[in-house]
Amino acid sequence: MKIEVLGPGCADCRKLEKDVNSALTELGIEAEVVKVTDLNKISSYGVLMTPGLVINGKVYSSGKLPAIVALKRWIEDEGKE
């Protein structure tokens, strides 16, 4: 599983990356977590507001910090596919 955290490095972007790693640890799931700061790459996903979250190439969130519960659900759902 590949999880991309999209954003230039703002506080919310760093928090999202931390929350993703916490969710993975709590779920006992291993994944590649990549921080994407390149604006062209971010916009290629159609994300106009950061932070953004992409799991296995699918945009799950943009412009907000999702709750840990939502992160866990999304990660589990992607792990089943």
Please indicate whether residue 10 is annotated as part of the active site.
Answer: yes
Q: Alpha carbon of 34 to those of 6, 7, 25: distances in Å?
A: 9, 11, 16
Report the mean per-residue pLDDT for the chain: 94
Q: What is the largest CA-CA distance in the chain?
A: 32
Please tell me which residue in 10, 11, 49, 68 is annotated as part of the active site: 10
pTM of the model: 0.93
Domains of the chain and any CATH numbers: 2-80 (3.40.30.10)
Q: In what order do the strands lie in the sheet with 2-6?
A: 32-36, 2-6, 52-55, 58-62
Which pLDDT score is estimated for 22? 97
Please indicate whether residue 32 is annotated as part of the active site.
Answer: no
* pLDDT tens for each residue of 13-29: 999 999 999 999 999 99
Q: Is 26 helix (H, G, I), strand (E, B) or coil?
A: helix
Please tell me which residue in 3, 5, 13, 75 is annotated as part of the active site: 13
Q: How many distinct helices (H) and strands (E) make up the chain?
A: 3, 4
